Structure 1
Amino acid sequence: MDVRQTIGWNLRRLRVARGLSQERLALAAEIDRSYVGRIERGVENVTVSTLEALAGVLEVHVSALFQQVDAAAAKPAPLRSGRKPKAG
């Protein structure tokens, strides 16, 4: 797994663990949602500034995005699609 794929894997893992959609993460980090998707797929050369913005939204140190991925680990599960129910 190359570095771009490692960053993408960890970004998705952290995003899903916090229950954030790509759209919510992108909005909070002030980047385009499709860019988040490309980062998660490991096809984008992401800048340090963007990594800082994403890590800030996820409330982790930037180094968490570079954490080594176990080759046997299952791909992070996607979030359930659709809107969250309104709290009431």
Structure 2
Amino acid sequence: MRRYTVDDLRYTVGQNIRRARIEKGMTQLRLAELCGMRADKIGSQIICYIERGLHFPSPRNLTRIADALEVDVFSFFKKLD
């Protein structure tokens, strides 16, 4: 059985957030605004880093992202197809 690393987890969560955001037709900037992050380039850059697996959001921000996307927070942890 393959062991997963922290990098795998960051990547999986990020890609699942990206998928949910795109399905909602939402920009990174709009998602940042809805999460209470800065409503500027820095806010969208944070979302970009999360989606690319370069940054893992805090539990608070992870739940804010899930609420903004109207999805269950645990859906972000599902393996990619």
Superposed pair shares fold, TM > 0.5: yes
Q: CA RMSD in A?
A: 1.0
The TM-score, its normalising length taken from structure 2, stands at 0.82
User: Equivalents in 2 of 1:53, 1:69: separation in Å?
Assistant: 22
Runs (5+) with no aligned partner, structure 2? 1-6, 38-42
Q: Secondary structure of 2:17's match?
A: helix
Give the distance between the partners of 2:22 and 2:57, measured in 1 at CA.
20
Structure 2 counterpart of 1:9, one-letter code? Q
After TM superposition, the runs of 4+ consecutive aligned structure 1 residues lying more than 3 A away are none
Identify the residue that residue 30 of structure 1 maps to in structure 2.
36
What is the aligned partner in structure 2 of residue 68 from structure 1?
79
- How many percent of aligned residue pairs carry the same amino acid? 36
Higher helix share: 2
Please, which of 44, 47, 54 is the counterpart of residue 55 of structure 2? 44
1:30 Cα deviation (Å)?
1.1
Deviation at 1:45, TM superposition (A): 2.3
- Code of the aligned partner of 1:45: F
> Based on CA coordinates, which of the two structures has the bigger radius of gyration?
1
